[in-house]
Amino acid sequence: MSQSKNQSEQSWPVFSKEFVSVLENLSADAVLNKIPSREHLLAILDPQKIPLLPLLEATRRVREHFCGKDVRVQILNNLQNGQCTEDCNYCAQSTSSCADIKTYPMKPDDEIFAGAQRCAESGGNRYCMVLSGRAPTAERIQHLASLVSEIKKRHNIEVCVSAGFIDAEQARVLKNAGLDRYNHNLNTSSQYYDKICSSHSHADRMACLEAAKSVGLDLCSGLIVGMGESLDDIVSVAIALRRLNVKSVPVNFYMHIPGSRLGEVGQLTPEYCLRVLCLFRFVHPDAEVRAAGGREINLRSLQPLALYAVNSLFCEGYLNSSGQALENTKAMICDAGYVIGQVEE
């Protein structure tokens, strides 16, 4: 055997042909809307088992089978920022964080209604209201319910709220006011949860999602990738979200904000981020899978390839960091051969 062949064998992984049947199985499960096996999901995350380009192509077929070429674009609307008494160590809004962020109480109603109007007039079909904090008081729930009901009266748009832990009774008040969807992220697996937070548990988050689901609200719930969790944790949270039948799955990539307690964690690679997005498409074939916070700094120049897996993007910035501008996001979608769907605020 020549030396140059030896060198080339050392430089590139040699894939067994088994990856072809793994991708066929994953695709067959996705088309039947079945949860793939844990073994196949772990293979997606392993660059020694499945080469990236065939993985992306198989994912693209599933994505386009269920979601066509559309990409929804969402602009986050933060109604209240910071001063949260929970101790989630990744979050700049926690009072246990020293991050230098702009904190503000809930915006006045007229600003909130103006946001909903802007959203409706720009052709958006969903308005999302996000508030920091552990849980809304009874008074806050009544206030949110009155906002939801007024927005639904004024505009033909869907409304989503993210306001922390709620129980079934509070969820029913919001549902009766016309709320369509509730957001509450699981963030990581049950096994890893105590490494990121001690003031509440994974079970608390599950209970909130179950409460919202029990009254017929659609669920939006996702995770943050890159907080030191294992590959197994990523698979577990994907499956847990699937069992909850979430309609919308924001996949965030950890961004360290100086002052936050979690600090710098090992760098995510663009290829790994793409693999995680592919995994979420196979587990949630017909859901709105979104490349959310941190896509720009973690996917870097490979961002357009994420569109082979996701049918939704955040842009313009996240809770406490900036993001790709709307116009550049639209250009990227068109350049990649996809179609801009709804722009939501």
Could you please report the per-residue DSSP string of 285-306? TTSEEEE-TTHHHHHGGGGGGG
The nearest distance, CB 132 to ligand SF4, in angstroms, is 4
| 132 lines the binding site for ligand SF4 (CB under 6 A) | yes
The nearest distance, CB 166 to ligand SF4, in angstroms, is 13
The nearest distance, CB 318 to ligand SF4, in angstroms, is 12
Reported as half-sphere exposure (CB side, CA atoms, 13 A), residue 204 has a value of 14
Q: What is the spatial distance between Cα 164 and Cα 255, in angstroms, rounded to a whole number? A: 21
- Closer to ligand SF4 by CB, 134 or 154: give it: 134
Selected from 41, 44, 58, 91, the binder of ligand SF4 by CB under 6 A is 91
- Closer to ligand SF4 by CB, 247 or 261: give it: 261
Instruction: Check the CA dihedral 251-257-263-269 and report its sign.
Output: positive
H or E stretch covering 25: helix 18-31
- Closer to ligand SF4 by CB, 26 or 224: give it: 224
DSSP state of 317: -
- The torsion of the CA quartet 43, 46, 47, 53, rounded to 10 degrees, works out to 40
Touching ligand SF4, residues 164-183 (CB under 6 A): 164
**Using CB under 6 A, which of the segments 31-39, 83-91, 103-111, 174-182 binds ligand SF4?**
83-91
Q: What is the spatial distance between Cα 90 and Cα 197, in angstroms, rounded to a whole number? A: 9
- Closer to ligand SF4 by CB, 208 or 279: give it: 208
The nearest distance, CB 210 to ligand SF4, in angstroms, is 18
Cβ–Cβ < 8 Å for 293, 255: yes
Cβ–Cβ < 8 Å for 235, 279: yes
| 128 lines the binding site for ligand SF4 (CB under 6 A) | no
**Using CB under 6 A, which of the segments 2-10, 85-93, 150-158, 280-288 binds ligand SF4?**
85-93
**Using CB under 6 A, which of the segments 53-61, 64-72, 89-97, 284-292 binds ligand SF4?**
89-97
The nearest distance, CB 50 to ligand SF4, in angstroms, is 33
- Closer to ligand SF4 by CB, 88 or 305: give it: 88
Selected from 27, 74, 77, 94, the binder of ligand SF4 by CB under 6 A is 94
Cβ–Cβ < 8 Å for 92, 318: no
Q: What is the spatial distance between Cα 67 and Cα 59, in angstroms, rounded to a whole number? A: 12
Q: How many residues bind ligand SF4 (CB under 6 A)?
A: 9
Reported as half-sphere exposure (CB side, CA atoms, 13 A), residue 217 has a value of 33
| 93 lines the binding site for ligand SF4 (CB under 6 A) | yes
| 88 lines the binding site for ligand SF4 (CB under 6 A) | yes
Q: What is the spatial distance between Cα 10 and Cα 92, in angstroms, rounded to a whole number? A: 43
Applying CB under 6 A, the residues found at the interface with ligand SF4 are 84, 86, 88, 91, 93-94, 132, 134, 164
